[in-house]
Structure 1
C-alpha cells in the first residue's frame, strides 16, 4: 500500500488499540509489586509505546524488521560456511560469488 494509505489505516485501526493498551498498562502498574518482573516489563512496555507511536504517524515505517533480518541471514549462514573454504584461494573464490 502507499504510505498515505498505510498511515490512514493505522490511524483508524492501530491507534485505538495502542491507546487501550497504554491505558491498561498504566492502570495495571499500581496494582503490581514495584520490584516484580511483571512491573519491570510493564514499565519497559510503557517506555517503548512512546517510540511505537511514530509507527502510527509515518506510513513508510514497517511494524517489524523482517526484511532487514532476511538480508542479514545470508551473511550469518555464510559465516559458518566460509570457515570451510579449504584454502585462501578457495575463500577468495567463495567471496566473489556470495552477495
Structure 2
C-alpha cells in the first residue's frame, strides 16, 4: 500500500472524529486556544533554565504571577507593572492596594 493510500485510509477511518465539530457548535475545529494557553508556560520553561539562583527563580515566578494576574483581570500587564513599581516606591510597606 502506498503512503498516500495509508493517509487516505486513515482519514476515512477517522472521518467521524474529524467532522464531530460540525455536529456541535461549541466544539472548535482546532486546538489553537489550548496551544495559546500553554505557550507562556513553554516559553517560561525555557527561560527558567537560566535562573541560576533561588532568588532569581523567585523573582521570575513573582513577575510571571503578576503578569498572569493582570491578564486574568483584564488589565494591560505592562501598565499594571509600571503602576505597581511606582506605588511600591511611594509605599513599600503596603502591598494590598496593588491587588487588581
- Provide TM-score, normalisation by structure 2: 0.59
Q: Which residue, out of 10, 14, 33, partners 1:67?
A: 33
Q: Which residue, out of 25, 36, 42, partners 1:76?
A: 42
Over 2 Å off, 4+ runs: none
Larger helix percent: 1
The one-character-per-residue Cα deviations of 1:5-55 (angstroms, maximum 9, x if unpaired) are xxxxxxxxxxxxxxxxxxxxxxxxxxxxxx110111011111221112321
User: Could you say which residue in structure 2 is the equivalent of 1:52?
Assistant: 18
User: Could you say which residue in structure 1 is the equivalent of 2:59?
Assistant: 93
- Provide TM-score, normalisation by structure 1: 0.59
Aligned length: 65
Q: Which has the higher contact order (CA 8 A, sep 6+)?
A: 1
| Unpaired runs of at least 5, structure 2 | 69-100
Distance, in Å, in 1 between the alignment partners of 2:55 and 2:13 is: 51
